Each structure stands twice: as structure tokens, then as C-alpha cells.
A and B are shown apart, each in its own frame.
Chain A
Amino acid sequence: MTALDGIQAAATVLLGLLVVGLLKSHADILRQLHELGAGRGEEPRGPVPVDLAMGSSSGAKGHDMSGHTPDGEAAAVAVLGATHDTLLAFLSSGCLTCNGFWEALGTGGDLGLPAGMRVVAVTKGTGDESGSAVGGLAPAGRTVLMSTQAWLDYEVPGSPYFVHVNGPTGRVVGEGTAATWAQVVGLVSRATADRRRSRADGIDQELTAAGILPGDPSLYPTSPPLTGDHE
């Protein structure tokens, strides 16, 4: 009887450990799903883990976009050849993380971005998204384009996703995802500042290669300044 009791006790302990392990594994799966936005619409309890690749220049060619606005206008949006940069915010109506971005886009003004930058929110087209749902989220006065083709052209892996296109060159200068609008602003601002510094360094290198060093007389005007009396 004593040996049998021992076997039963050992089996009970093993079964208990197995159940605890299964419960822990199950809880881990549920927690991860919840943080990724699965569920019945509850807000995530903490920041969503994201990949911050914004600011890394892919150099890929950008694309002009066409589709529809949420209120049914057929629309073509110019990205290439523009005198300004464009930040494309690929969002969806059903993604919980996107809610904060829709709200941020509705705050108006320059949204904290570098001067002159245009922001266009891009959802998938009317075959994949509800026009009325997107229309309910679209901030007044902000360009919102519904275009599945744009998602394909920019190879968007999911929402939210941001692509920064330099208008004059038509090249993608940064892309990635973020958890908050403040992160997007910080990354875009840093990338823009880096690009300006790189351009200035490039000019310095070209001048140096041409034998023009700091202080060179050719860098300074020799003609008398205009006084304003001359037309």
C-alpha cells in the first residue's frame, strides 16, 4: 500500500506540473494575442512592440497614387516630382494601434513634422475597407486615399506603416512602423536633419576636391554690394 501511495502521489505531482505548464503556456499565448490587438475591441494595456526602421533610407522609387476618397471622389494624388516631401500613413479602420494615429492626424496644423511636409493617410481600397468606417475616422481637411494598389506599390506589410518620400527625387527616404505619432515625428525629423547634413557634407567634399578650401577668396563676393538704388 505504501508503494502504491507513493506512485499515486508522484503521478499527481506530475499531472499537476503538466497542468500548470499548460496553463502558463496558454496564458502566454493569450497575452501575446491581446498585445497584438486581437480580441473584442479592448484597448491594449501597454505599448505595442514595434519595429522602428523609419529613417533608414531604402532608396526605392516612390509611386504616385490613385483611388477614392472616403466620400467617393475618384482621386489621383501626386507624390513624385512634388516640391515637398510626402509622409504616407498606411492605416486601417480595424487596427487598434491605428486609432491613435487617426486622432493625431485630426489635430490639424503641421502635426510637428518638418515644414512643408504633406501627410496623406492611405487605407486599402473599397473592396477591402468600408468607406463609411474610414470616413468616420478621416480627419476633416486631411487627404485620405483608399487604394489597395498603393499598398501593393509600396509593399506595405501591415498597418500602421509609414513611408517618407522625397518629392524632388521621387525616392523613399525612410519607412517603417511606430507605436505613437510622437515616434513618427521624431524619426522623420531626425532623418530630414541627417539628409540636410549629408547634403552639406557632400557640397564641402566637392569644393575640397576642386581645391576650394574654407577661406578661399572665391567663396566671397568681390563686387560691391547692391544698395537698392539700382534696378
Chain B
Amino acid sequence: MRISAHGLDVDVPSGWEGRIREQHLPFAPAGSHGTQFRAHAVLHAADFVLPEERGDFGSGAVETMQPGHAFIALVEYGTSSVGTALFASGAGMPRHLRPDDFNPRQLQRTIPGQAGTQRFFVEEGRAFCLYVVLGSMAARGHVVPRVNAVLPAIRIGPPVPPEWLEAM
């Protein structure tokens, strides 16, 4: 199953679910008055049922994970992040992760037994955070290969033309 939206595309393997949505972040273009909002993309993929209510980094979903499950979040940041130190790896999105890349301390929210990893990068001129959660640190040797089967199926397109929203 392939889904595409907001300049992201993923070929979701059987047994996995996928979602792509946009979030609206405040942005202040030069010379503007007041706050404007610009759309940024968020992609979620998981090998379990994705709840409808989810935070960008998986809150609401990771709590339902079983030990053998995996959750992937790809969260876009504003263009002003491009070129900053956090996103300066220059390597683009990692399409292969190692079991040793995962650590309970990299979780956005610590849940006993789980492990995560975060990578910040720029690809196609867009700044992203790739955040992956494993249901079990102990099972990472079995779960990470399945994550690595999904990561190459994620494609990042060029920046989507800005869609300025009305000032709030």
C-alpha cells in the first residue's frame, strides 16, 4: 500500500499501518506582522494498530506497543532549521539502523522495556527528525531488521510550496 501526502511517500509493507498528516507550526516571515502558520509533514508507520489520537512523536501509540512492535515517526521541522547545528549531519535520512543505535535514554517518554533512537537530518532541503521506538530493548535484534525493511520505502520529495494560513 502506498500513501503520499505533503511531499512524503511511503510504500507500507503488509502488516504495517501508515499515516501522513500535516501539522501547523507558527512562522514569522520577514516583514510580517502577527503570527502565521505553515504546514509541515508528519509520517507515522507501525506494525500494530495506530490509535487515532497520536502525538507527533507517538504519544498515545507507544503506550499500546507489545514487545515485538516497532513505531516510526518522521517529523518535519521549519526551513529555518536547515543549516543549524542539530541538522548538520549532511547524511540525509538513515535507511539502515543498527540494534546498537537504540537506547532507552533516547525515548521521548520513558516506558519500561522500550528503546528508541532519534536522528536529525536534512534531505531535499527539508529538515526532519526520524524517531523510532522499539517495544522491547531486549528484542531489538529481531525488530530492527523489520524497521530496516520500511525505512528505504520512505521517500522525501522537494519542499512543498508554502501554504500560508490566515494570521491568528
A75 to chain B, nearest CB (A): 5
| Residues of B in contact, count (CB < 8 Å) | 21
Q: Is the interface of A mostly helix, strand, loop or mixed?
A: loop
Binding site for B on A (CB under 8 A): 64-66, 69, 71-78, 80-82, 84, 118, 140-143
* Nearest residue, chain A, Cβ from B4: A74
Q: A66-B1, A76-B3 are in contact. Are A82 and B15 (CB under 8 A)?
A: yes
Contact A141 B5 (CB under 8 A): no
B4 to chain A, nearest CB (A): 6
B73 to chain A, nearest CB (A): 14
Contact A72 B21 (CB under 8 A): yes
Write the B1-35 contact mask toward A (1 if CB under 8 angstroms, else 0).
11111000010101111111110000000000000
Once bound together, how far apart are the Cα atoms of A74 and B21, in whole Å? 6
A-B contacts, 25 of them at CB < 8 A, read A64-B1, A64-B12, A64-B14, A66-B2, A73-B5, A73-B21, A74-B3, A74-B5, A74-B18, A74-B19, A75-B3, A75-B19, A76-B1, A76-B2, A78-B14, A78-B15, A78-B47, A78-B49, A80-B14, A81-B14, A118-B49, A141-B51, A141-B52, A142-B52, A143-B49
Contact A76 B15 (CB under 8 A): no
Judge if B163 is at the interface, Cβ distance under 8 Å.
no
B51 to chain A, nearest CB (A): 7
Binding site for A on B (CB under 8 A): 1-5, 10, 12, 14-22, 47, 49, 51-53
Q: Which of B18, B22, B49, B53 is in CB contact (< 8 Å) with A76?
A: B18
Task: Specify which chain A residues have a CB less than 8 angstroms from the CB of B20 in the assembled complex.
Answer: 73-74
